[in-house]
Structure 1
Amino acid sequence: MLQKRWRMTNQRKVILEELRNSKGHLSADELYMLVKRKLPNVSISTIYRNLEELAEQGLIRKLGPRSTQKRFDANVQPHFHIRCVKCGRIDDVPFSMLEKVRNAINESTSMVEKITGYDVVGYHLEFLGVCPDCQKKLEEKKERESYGR
């Protein structure tokens, strides 16, 4: 099978740079708005295609369940995320206690392999919750509704 040659194009460099400079986990649409400032002629399809290529090369990580808009993370080191079930925002989980979770999962790997017959090559753990912004919106909505009675 013929493998295609991969190279770091200027578009990929700009996409990767914008993603690395961001403070969050951007969607392709959010990244498109940032990249468009530097590359005015770039198309959204170019952004999607290059994000897929960068993920295939291991330079970024695709995040999120299949049913929502994908977000991308320039931090490819092992770490955990928390995703808002209301707006889809994703943040890194910073606490050191998660090392205990990682150790428990690693200890369970051999049992999972025995039960399933799979050769486990990794895992993905994502916490779900409601972000502070959405919590605030929900509280404001409740307040408005209680005043309306």
Structure 2
Amino acid sequence: MKRSKQRDAVLQVLSSTTSHPTADTVYNSVRDIIPSISLGTVYRNLNVLSENGEIRRLDLGMAQSRFDYNVKPHDHFVCQNCGSVLDVMNEYDNTIDKENASNINGSINYHTLVFYGICDKCSKEK
């Protein structure tokens, strides 16, 4: 894939956070690096990077997709109060993939598991 200053800036922003930012949040951070960058350019680069497997697009049932620099298989936790997305670093277990592949008479490449609840910060605020 062709590298560009814009694409490198998007990767730089994503690699420096574990907050799983939205495209708008990435855009605002990239503007600190390249003030003239457009929102459309950020969206295009996020799409290309996710299509090429360099980042993960997370569709977690929220209004906007989130983006993750960590492409290794792992699960996520979504706080139903503040909307924060956290990594759950369990060891990825592909046993479930194999077991369910036989149920559908097909193949499963991977699965995603998302936990929903209240994060520690929100729990302490109540």
TM-score band, normalised by shorter chain: 0.7 to 0.9
Report the counterpart of residue 88 of structure 2 in structure 1.
93
Report the counterpart of residue 51 of structure 2 in structure 1.
56
Establish whether residue 32 from structure 1 lines up as the match of residue 43 from structure 2: no
Aligned pair count reads: 126
Q: Which runs of 5+ in 1 are unaligned?
A: 1-5, 140-149
Residue aligned with 2:9, SS: helix
| Residue type at the aligned position of 2:58 | L
Structure 1 vs Structure 2 CA RMSD: 1.8
Does the C-alpha gap of structure 1 residues 122 and 22 become closer, same or farther in structure 2, counting only changes over 3 Å? same
Which has more helix, going by share of residues? 1
- Note the C-alpha offset of 1:46: 1.4
Once the two structures are superposed, what CA deviation does each residue of 1:1-26 show, in whole Å capped at 9, x if it has no partner?
Answer: xxxxx411110000001110124211
Residue aligned with 1:54, SS: helix
Distance in 2, matches of 1:123 and 1:23, equals 20
Residue aligned with 2:64, SS: coil
TM-score for the superposition, normalised by structure 2:
0.87
- Note the C-alpha offset of 1:114: 2.3
Distance in 2, matches of 1:51 and 1:107, equals 31
Report the counterpart of residue 107 of structure 1 in structure 2.
95
Establish whether residue 121 from structure 1 lines up as the match of residue 109 from structure 2: yes
Report the counterpart of residue 9 of structure 1 in structure 2.
4
Distance in 2, matches of 1:17 and 1:48, equals 15
Higher relative contact order (CA closer than 8 Å, sequence separation 6+): 2
Q: Is the 8 A contact 2:18 2:86 kept in 1?
A: no
TM-score for the superposition, normalised by structure 1:
0.75
- Note the C-alpha offset of 1:72: 0.6
